[in-house]
Amino acid sequence: MATLAFDVYGTLINTDAVVSQLREWMGSQAEVFSQTWRSKQLEYSFRRGLMRRYETFAVCTRQALDYCCAEYDVSFSAEQKDALLQSYRGLPAFADAEESLVALKAEGHRLFAFSNGTSEAVEEVLRASGLRERFEAVVSCDALETFKPNPDVYRYFMKEAGDSNDAWLISGNPFDVIGAVSAGMKAAWVQRSDRAVFDPWGIEPTATVKGLNELGEKIASQR
């Protein structure tokens, strides 16, 4: 059976859930604010990785929030900012996550959570969403003080998992999928929206699924 590395934020855990809180405070701007926050969060992790100026993913998230407040001219109080940042530690899972993980584990696959977030943060959000017990372990890029898609982190995962013969990354983020394939893993892109576009780099996912419930069949078809 395969060894499956699940990206956490945006793949298992729905980062868009912060929109409901934002909507209470800023109305119609909430969705675009949330999208920019997520985009900047990732951008800051990329830039820090390239510059070798490491700070944790939580720091990237906080600084991205500060950027968005300036960009959209929003004056959140310190308490409101703390509430938004704390919400990242209790975000809900996507509706298909629990059932799909149970099915994959029943098929004999080894399941790992693999994230840019610190082990502590990932453990907390997985416990809050009820998913932690489905995973054999959490593997965090924080151990290397860098971020995806640095090829070192995918090699680190395979070393930690102890099985690189049939190792898959499962992610809703195209950059993550491309990084994993480039490092020698197989990868499934979770394309939850028909509007989501995969980067045209000539490096394709091993499989594409619309939801996590399609993974078992897709993985089996690659054998």
Domain boundaries, the chain: 3-13+91-221, 15-87
CA-to-CA distance for 217 and 223, rounded, in angstroms?
Answer: 10
Topology (CATH level 3) of domain 15-87: DNA polymerase; domain 1 (1.10.150)
Cα 210 to chain center, whole Å?
16
Active site residues: 7
pLDDT in tens, the chain (223 residues): 899 999 999 999 998 888 988 999 999 999 999 999 999 999 999 999 999 999 999 999 999 999 999 999 999 999 999 999 998 889 999 999 999 999 999 999 999 999 999 999 999 999 999 999 999 999 999 999 999 999 999 999 999 998 667 999 999 999 999 999 999 999 999 999 999 999 999 999 999 999 999 999 999 998 7
- Confidence (pLDDT) at 203: 98
- Confidence (pLDDT) at 161: 93
pTM of the model: 0.94
Check if the beta carbon of residue 112 is closer than 8 Å to that of residue 157. yes
CA-to-CA distance for 7 and 127, rounded, in angstroms?
Answer: 15
- The CATH class given to the 3-13+91-221 domain equals alpha beta
Q: Token digits for 28?
A: 């119609």
Taking only the tens place, the pLDDT of each residue in 81-102 is 999 999 888 999 999 999 999 9
